[in-house]
Structure 1
Amino acid sequence: MVMHTILTSPCGPLRIETSAEAITRIIFLDEPVPETVPGSPLLTLACDQLNAYFVGELTRFSLPLAPAGTPFQQRVWQALLAIPWGEKRSYSDIAAAIGNPRAVRAVGAANGRNPIPIIIPCHRVIGANGSLTGYAGGLTRKRWLLDHETKV
């Protein structure tokens, strides 16, 4: 059973989805949507941690996560979780971290399919030349998240 809530954030409304045991998805919404009251302790905890992140009081999430993906995607997402707050990595850095340095494009594809953005910090991955590259939530959100982590 999927449960969800809507959280208003500086990056726009977020739809947070969970199973009974873990966070499964966060979706950036482009249209204004009224915030909803979390219907479970896990959704409340997720909202509390995201709110603390957005005000600069939390630099590492401690939530149970269950992103659906292939074994390769799972390895990439685990590598993203190892990127410290306020730091950036290139796609080639992530490919090397998972032991497959030639898989830069596949890392980019897995990064783009991350179902739990912000918590699994795919926004911290940039181009090898330091440029901001694609982000499922849009480059404006990616820039905001990176700026937020360097200002706090």
Structure 2
Amino acid sequence: MTFSPLKIYLGELNNTPLGDLRIAASDLGLVAVEWADSQPELIQHLFRLKATVEQNQKVIHPYVKELGEYLKGKRRDFTFEIDWGILKPFQQKALQAVYAIPYGEILTYADVAVQIGHPHAYRAVGRANATNPMPLVIPCHRLIGKDGKLHGYGGKGGLKTKEWLLKMEGAVIT
């Protein structure tokens, strides 16, 4: 049996309302979305996956197309696959629950902790989202604190970006 290293394809989505993005995918699905000015962090993330990286806009095109449509308010759901296997078990469980939050809706970190069977692990859910390698697609912006307020967003622009995304989706923020 021979070991085949993970192959990652890298591409770009430029001139979005949130700036330029870099997108990475494996043969199994999306692996990462990152702002262009955070490309060093993206490369470090891909390096930790022990993957070979190849620039290939053609392979990335379906992801670019759907993300572009989403950011223009023309798409609510993504149809492409996500490579969940790159995540650690707890993060995978938490982010799959976040991925299931419908467009325009919000939950608290505590809600997600309860959903995944770890009702006291809301801080761990927060940490899983803070290290979400696929923001926008895995909609960590749809999570708020128990106090009903916006808390933490690691993407470019921080809470202003989180608020912009929620308003674009028509979410009601108190």
TM over 0.5: yes
Alignment of 1:12-27 (within 5 A): 12-27=19-34
The unaligned stretches of length 5 or more in structure 2 are 1-6, 39-54
Deviation at 1:30, TM superposition (A): 3.6
* 1:44 equivalent in structure 2: 61
Amino acid at match of 1:143: E
The unaligned stretches of length 5 or more in structure 1 are 32-36
* 2:105 equivalent in structure 1: 87
Structure 1 range deviating more: 44-53 or 63-72: 63-72
4+ runs of 1 displaced by more than 6 Å? Answer: none
| Residue of structure 2 aligned with 1:29, choices 17, 21, 36 | 36
Q: Based on CA coordinates, which of the two structures has the bigger radius of gyration?
A: 2
* 1:59 equivalent in structure 2: 76
**Separation in structure 1 between the aligned mates of residue 31 and residue 124 of structure 2, nearest angstrom:** 22
How many equivalent residue pairs?
Answer: 145
1:76 matched to 2:97: no
SS in 1 for 2:120: coil
SS in 2 for 1:131: coil
* 1:34 equivalent in structure 2: none
Deviations 1:112-134 (A, max 9, x none): 11110111111100111111111
Amino acid at match of 1:58: R
Amino acid at match of 1:29: A
| Closer, same or farther: CA 38–2 of 1 in aligned 2, 3 Å | closer
* 1:142 equivalent in structure 2: 162
Deviation at 1:91, TM superposition (A): 0.4
**Separation in structure 1 between the aligned mates of residue 109 and residue 74 of structure 2, nearest angstrom:** 28
**Separation in structure 1 between the aligned mates of residue 70 and residue 92 of structure 2, nearest angstrom:** 23
* 2:44 equivalent in structure 1: none
Deviations 1:128-150 (A, max 9, x none): 11111111102121111111101
**Separation in structure 1 between the aligned mates of residue 63 and residue 80 of structure 2, nearest angstrom:** 7
Deviation at 1:40, TM superposition (A): 2.6
* 2:12 equivalent in structure 1: 6
Contact 1:123 1:145 in 2 (8 A): yes
